[in-house]
Amino acid sequence: MAASSAYALSVLALPDLDAITRRTATAQAGSPSVRVGKGEVAAVRQMTKVLGDAAAELGGGHARHLVVRYLTEDVAPWLGGSFTQAIGRELFAAVSQLVHLAGWMAGDEGNQGLAQRYYAHSFRLAAEAGDAELSATALRGMAVQAIDHGHRAAAVRLSEECVRRARALDDPRALAYYRTTLANAAALDGDRPTAASALAAAQSAIERSPAAPGESWAGHYSVGRWAHESGMILARLGDLDAAEEHLRHALDIHGLDRRRTRAIVLADLGQIRLQRGDIGAAVAGWHDFLDCADGIRSVKVHDAVQEMRARLDRLSGVPEVDGLSERAAAL
């Protein structure tokens, strides 16, 4: 299925969380042969963490089949099993995160239509669990897709809904996560006041974030990731000096321990330096990018290589560019 803003927006037609008749509202009288307890919930969470860590390091193209197999062969029978109301809510929330991971991996692999469907399923599971943060995170996944593909109206609508659903949360990392997405969508739409306001709110939230990450997807939103996203929003708004400062801040001060993330930041930094006319610094950053990108299976990394090569073609004859072009072609 082709990715479309209409499909993403159709998810918003679901009733509010409190209006949904959830399977978790009462004890589930499912298959008596499959009883689900805290052990199964813990297993889903642990597998999501392990598989998510691998994907964050090596890209969504690695081992997505393991996530799908675990989801269909192990987890699906538990959803149809018997459990108490409390366990049911925990189970559906945990599975929502696993399904979201499958969607993220599909998108990072380049299959955007499949990713949308996973995000929609993640949203519905989160709604059944009554988890506002997971609902907002699933919508954010589709908002980012809309941003990446230039669906401006859908991007704004979805990101606004992320913020609305998260309004009662008290985790500063989560609030910064959704506010930054809204700022990105608004910048894409040319709405500078909204972009600036959302970006300032995100900064205020991330500066209040605890040192230790939470358990959820949004709870792992770090200052380094915020600095990278903010830098790219500022670049979209035309402030290249501030954009470069934010990206260097993300790399040099806060690290970025995930190789995939670090590679993308280095690629973006090279692009911004080139826009500023600093060819030498751009080439140096791109060499670091290629060092980091080798072996990563991610459509974002692949696209970054292609964009870099397109710009290098226009710089043929510049001495420091030739070796970089050869390395990029080999990768």
Rounded distance between C-alpha atoms, residue 165 and residue 228, angstroms: 24
Helix boundaries (H) for 110-239: 112-129, 132-148, 152-165, 172-188, 192-206, 223-236
81-82 and 31-35 strand pairing:
parallel
DSSP class of residue 314 equals T
Q: What is the pLDDT along the chain (331 residues), one digit of tens a residue?
A: 344 555 555 665 554 444 444 555 555 555 567 899 999 999 999 999 999 988 888 898 888 889 999 999 999 999 888 999 999 999 999 999 999 999 999 999 999 999 999 999 999 999 889 999 999 999 999 999 999 999 999 999 999 999 999 988 888 999 999 999 999 999 999 999 999 999 999 999 999 987 777 777 777 888 899 999 999 999 999 999 999 999 999 988 765 668 898 999 999 999 999 999 998 899 999 999 999 988 889 999 999 999 998 888 887 777 777 778 788 887 7
CB count in 10 Å sphere of residue 62? 20
Q: State the pTM of this model.
A: 0.87
CA atoms within 13 A on the CB side of 174: 23
Closest CA to 51 of 110, 129, 103: 103
